[in-house]
Structure 1
Amino acid sequence: MLSIRQYVENQIHIITGLQGSPVDFTVPPGDPGLFGPQSAVWEVHADFTSMMLGGIAALSLQMLDPRVLAGVWDHSSFRQDMQGRLSRTAQFISAVSYAGTEQAEQCIALVRRVHEHVHGVLPDGTPYDANDPELLRWVHHTQAYCFLESHLRWRNAKLAPEQQDRYVAQYSKVAVMLGADGLVMDAPALRALFAQPAAELRVDARTQEVATILMSSHTLFKGAKAWVARVFLLAALDMLPQWAQTCFEHRPSAASMWWRRRVVNSAAFVLRWATRNGSVHRARRRVANLA
């Protein structure tokens, strides 16, 4: 019979896609991967709670670009399987962050091959292509911005500015390998990108439908209490820039944000206590030649 600790960690592995993942983070022994244990990427990406909330926030920003949204709308079944979509994204981020070098590069190559088939035309006639460097740049910047801001809010508010800059510069390596260019390389420049909305961003019927699916309380926490899931989802929206919150008609009061922070921080304490064999733990054993 599973202990409470084991049960909670198993649920985390299901959500992140680690359970059943084809990536083996324990081999080859000694391989630091794309970044290594001293990197800012390993530090920022290590916490499940902040990465989950940052991932939801990033997805929310990404869907505001109709070309990015069309790529998944036309070429995946995410509306029927949002959990699967989020798990696959989490698998990819874990792999490029913590897997051995060869496995990380294989994951990136696989995504590039998938992107070759993701192209089409928006309802208004605008073409889109998943390999468009501009779209790759937008997706990367939303991830880097939300992961960093989430880490500062939920894990380590005292992360040094120079370490924040290192994170932004280091994580850009993945986007470059995917085909992006023109990336910002420090935290102030990254935040400046989200100070105001870009002209091409908008909310339409597709955006609203995906937001409704994403904000359904059962999307991420199958079997969990609906109110806990709802708190986490709303806490992710709390992190968005003010203009983006307006796009989603999210108008949180100071009291509701304070209450959500209390709930999330309490849950995060339990999640961190339970997590002992995540991707970062396996990667640390690999690098230490203990795999």
Structure 2
Amino acid sequence: MDSDDLGLFGPGSVTWKVHEEPILIVAGLRSLYLQALHPRAMAGVAQNSSYQTDAWGRLVRTAGYVATTIYGTTAEAEAAGRRLRTLHARLRARDPFTGEEFRIDDPELLRWVHVTEVESFVSTARRAGLALTDDEVDGYYTEQRRAAALVGLDPADVPSTAAEVDDYYRRIRRDLRMTREAAETALFLTVPPIPWKLNLPVKLGLHLGPPRWAYLGIAGTALGLLPAWARRLYGGLGLPTTALSADLSVRALRLALAALPRRYREGPLQQAAKERAARLTPAA
């Protein structure tokens, strides 16, 4: 029965430990900045997505998918994976340099999105102050092979340790570059439309209310958390001081988020998963 199912990971997993952190909102943004540096991946998004006209809707759907794979039952996670694979199988895009048509579910593209996402999650959580041993980091990557399988990847072809992720990044960097679409996407990620009710209009027709300034701080932190080589591709300096400033910012933000009431820090899927876990493992 689903009510007796703890999902793909469950309590005691490194995955639950990492995704307990609200700071992963910054990690999600960091992963998008990284993903935009892959020309084909960026073309696939730009040619098949409504992200510029429905940015917040797309964000909610993506967050919902991740939450389902982490905290949903096994059946819910597998159903979400099937829906995503069915969607991707229908989509095509054209290479911005060669004009060649390619499939969105190309394993190379799926692997790039998966690796940038999980690396952003675990590295951001760690830099924000979550205590994780090297073995736990490797354990997280290994566990996340289950999530990779949901999108159609062969788990054996997905990095399962921090060393393998570093090697993957070294190998793929030759394929990454700053394109016009990447620059436009980065600008959009940094200054997205904010729902009008959250803004305080000021002169010159700009919306620079507190939500806008708060978001700019989060976006700046996400950019600062990028690897030095990625910051250089964006035209920034890969200086240690940049990383240090980002580390201080993300630690402060984690402390602020930890002070929020639980109902604001945990979504319904996470709360339901914890209730199932408590019922099934009372000793824990």
TM-score (norm 2): 0.83
Whole-angstrom distance in 2 between the partners of 1:229 and 1:89: 19
| Structural mapping, 1:220-259, within 5 Å | 223=198, 224-251=210-237, 253-254=241-242, 256-257=245-246
Q: Is the 8 A contact 2:224 2:245 kept in 1?
A: no
| Secondary structure of 1:226 counterpart | helix
> Cα offset for 1:216?
0.5
Whole-angstrom distance in 2 between the partners of 1:271 and 1:81: 28
| Secondary structure of 1:246 counterpart | helix
> Cα offset for 1:172?
1.3
The one-letter code of the counterpart of 1:32 is L
Pick one of 125, 128, 133 that aligns with 2:107. 133
Pick one of 257, 264, 269 that aligns with 1:275. 264
> Cα offset for 1:214?
0.5
Aligned to 2:177: 202
Change (3 A) 1:85 1:222: farther
Identity rate, percent:
30
Change (3 A) 1:170 1:221: farther
Pairwise CA RMSD of aligned residues?
Answer: 2.5
Whole-angstrom distance in 2 between the partners of 1:272 and 1:230: 24
| Structural mapping, 1:39-188, within 5 Å | 39-49=13-23, 51-124=24-97, 125-156=99-130, 158-181=131-154, 182-188=157-163
Structure number with higher helix proportion: 2
| Secondary structure of 2:52 counterpart | coil
Q: Is the 8 A contact 1:195 1:241 kept in 2?
A: no
Whole-angstrom distance in 2 between the partners of 1:28 and 1:221: 40
Tell me the alpha carbon deviations over residues 123-145 of structure 1, each in whole angstroms, 9 at most, x when there is no partner.
33133212111111111110111
Any gaps of 5 or more consecutive residues in structure 1? 1-26
Which sits farther off after the overlay, 54-63 or 224-233? 224-233
Whole-angstrom distance in 2 between the partners of 1:209 and 1:231: 19
> Cα offset for 1:256?
4.9
Any gaps of 5 or more consecutive residues in structure 2? 199-209
| Secondary structure of 1:120 counterpart | strand
Aligned to 1:264: 253
Change (3 A) 1:196 1:229: farther
Aligned to 2:204: none
| Secondary structure of 1:288 counterpart | helix
Whole-angstrom distance in 1 between the partners of 2:101 and 2:76: 33
> Cα offset for 1:249?
2.5
Q: Is the 8 A contact 1:57 1:240 kept in 2?
A: yes
